[in-house]
Amino acid sequence: MSWQDVLGHDRQFQWFRQQYSSGRLGSSFLFVGPSGIGKRTFALKLAQALLCNENPDGSLVPCETCSACQQVKSSSHPDLLTLRKKDDKAVIQVSQLVGEKERRMREGLCYDISLKPYYGGKRIAIIDDADYFNEESANALLKTLEEPPPHSIIILIGTNKQRQLPTIRSRCQIIRFAPLRDDFLTQLVLNQGLMEDEQQARQLASLGNGSIEKIRALIGSGMTEFREEFFPRLANAGTILPELVSLVNTFVDQAVADLPVDQKPKGRRDCLRQIIQMTTDFYRQLMRELAGAKLHDGDLLAGPVEMAIRNWPGNVETALACINSCLEADVRVSQNANLKTLVEYWLDQLQTFSQTRDPLMLPTL
C-alpha cells in the first residue's frame, strides 16, 4: 500500500515514520535518485505530515483537510520554505541563501529557516536543485547544516550524491530513492491524464525508465521518433560522426524553433539533456545485456542494443565508459558549456569508446 498519493517509496516512508515516532528524526537530509521519480512529491508530503494540525502523532499521515495541509498544497504555508535554481542562472546563488551583500544574513533561506515557527511547530526548508550548488553557495549553507535551528528540517533534493560537494554530503543523512516500477508509472500516467488508454499508458511507462518526467518529455515532443532514428545509427559502426552530430543538432534546433528568443538557450539545454539522458539509458541497457540480462522483445531499445552488441568490440567496461561520458556531458550542459562543441566532442567520444577495448585509456570530457 502506498503512502497516500506517493507511489513507490514506502520503504523511505516507513524509515521516516520509525525515526519520527522514536524521537530520533534528524534535521538535514539529502534525497538522491533519478529525476522525475517523486522525490519532491515525497518531501512535500513529509512536510504536510509534519505540519498537519489534526494528526500530529507519529503516524506521519496528514489529514489533507486542515488549514495547514491546505496551505502546504497551495505552497502558502508560512513554515514551509522552498528554494530552486533561478532559470537564468547556472547555479544556486549565494544571495538566495544569505541575501544580497547589503542585507547578508537578514534575508535568504538561511535567515528564514532560523526564525521561530509561525505556528509553533516545525519550520521546513526544501531545496529542490541541490545538484546546482557551487562551492560558494554550498559554503553559504554549511553553518545552517552544521548548527540547524531548533525545530527545523532541511531537505536537499538531487540526483546523485557524487554531484554534491563532500561538505554537503557529510552534514546530511542521505536518503536514496529508486526509479519507479512500470506499474506505478502506468498508474501515474493515467492519474495525471497523460494517456487515457491503459494499454498505451503501459507502453509509455516502459519508455520512462522509472521517471514520470521522462514520460512527459516524450509526449508530443517528437522525442520518441527521434529515438527510433538516433539509436540504430548510434549502434551502427558504419555511421559517420557528422551524421550523428547533424541529427542531434537539427532535432534540438527544431525543438526550440517556436520558443521566444529569450527562452531558446534554456530550451536547447533542456532538449539536449533529454537526449543525453536517453543515451545514458541506451548504454545502461547495453551493459545489462552484455552482463547477461535480456530485454523484453517489445522494448524500444531491444533492436538497437542487439545491433550494438553485434558490432561491439568492447565489453561491460566499454559500455560503462560510455555511460560515464554521458553523465559528464549532462553535467557540462548544466554548466552552460557551448552546446555545438559539446555535442560533437561527446558523440566523437562515444564512437571512439565503441571501437576500443581499453576505454579507460581515453580522455574524458
Neighbour-count burial of 71, counting CB atoms closer than 10 A to its CB (0-12 exposed, 13-18 middle, 19+ buried)? middle
1 — pLDDT class (breaks 50, 70, 90)? very low
CA-nearest of 159, 172, 141, 176 to 334 is 159
**Poorest-pLDDT segment among 59-63, 216-220, 261-265:** 216-220
More confident: 278 or 296:
278
pLDDT digits (tens, 9 = 90+) for 135-172: 999 999 999 999 999 999 999 999 988 888 899 999 99
Q: How far is CA 238 from CA 92, 115, 230, 307, 311, in A?
A: 43, 63, 13, 12, 9
pLDDT of residue 357: 58
**Residues 59-74: what's their mean pLDDT?**
93
- pLDDT for 258 beyond 70: yes
The domain in which residue 256 lies consists of: 220-361
Asked if residue 261 and residue 325 are part of one domain, the reply reads yes
Rounded to two decimals, what is the model's pTM?
Answer: 0.74
User: Do the domain assignments include residue 188?
Assistant: no
Which domain-ending residue is among 146, 176, 206? 176
Within a domain: residue 210? no
What average pLDDT does the structure give for the chain?
Answer: 88
Distance spanning both ends of the chain, measured CA to CA: 44
Same-domain check for residues 167 and 294? no
Q: Is residue 234 part of a domain?
A: yes
What pLDDT, on a 0 to 100 scale, did the predictor assign at position 289?
A: 84
State pLDDT tens for residues 198-248.
Answer: 888 887 787 777 889 888 877 767 887 888 889 888 888 788 999 999 999
Same domain for 328 and 263, yes or no, is yes
Examine the domain organization and report whether 338 and 234 are in the same domain.
yes
159 and 48 inside one domain: yes
- Helix ranges (H only) for 236-301 are 241-255, 264-290
**29 and 154 assigned to the same domain:** yes
Higher pLDDT, 363 or 117: 117
Query: Last residue of a domain, which of 176, 191, 208?
Result: 176
Q: Are residues 43 and 128 in the same domain?
A: yes
Long-range contacts of 337-342 (CB under 8 A, 24+ apart): 339/252, 339/268, 339/269, 339/272, 340/249, 342/272
* Percent residues over pLDDT 90 in the chain: 53
Q: Are residues 139 and 237 in the same domain?
A: no
pLDDT of residue 25: 93
Total of domains in the chain:
2
Which CATH number do you get for residue 119?
3.40.50.300
Residue 175 confidence class, pLDDT cut points 50, 70, 90: very high
pLDDT value, residue 89: 86
pLDDT at 81: 97
Is residue 2 one of the residues assigned to a domain? Answer: no
Position 2 scores a pLDDT of 66
In this model, does residue 360 exceed pLDDT 60? no
Helix axes 264-290 and 339-353, enclosed angle (nearest 10): 10
In this structure, how many other beta carbons lie within 10 angstroms of the beta carbon of residue 53? Answer: 14
Is 107 a domain residue? yes
pLDDT over 70 at 130, yes or no: yes
Please tell me whether residues 100 and 225 are part of one structural domain: no
Ramachandran angles phi, psi of 237, nearest 5° = -65, -20
Both 273 and 354 in one domain: the answer is yes
Give the pLDDT score at 295.
Answer: 62
Residue 365: pLDDT over 60 = no
pLDDT mean over 164-186: 93
Distances (CA, A) of 60 to 21, 120, 122, 184: 9, 18, 14, 22
Quote the pLDDT of residue 316: 84
Q: 90-127 pLDDT, tens per residue? A: 899 999 999 998 888 889 999 999 999 999 789 999 99
* Mean pLDDT to the nearest integer, 237-261: 90
Listed residues 176, 191, 207: the one ending a domain = 176
Q: Is residue 190 part of a domain?
A: no
164 with 228, same domain? no
Is residue 68 assigned to a domain?
yes
Give the pLDDT confidence score for residue 364 in this predicted structure: 52
Q: Are residues 283 and 344 in the same domain?
A: yes
Assigned domain for 273 exists: yes
**CB within 8 Å of 318: residues ≥ 6 apart:** 312, 353, 354, 356, 357, 359
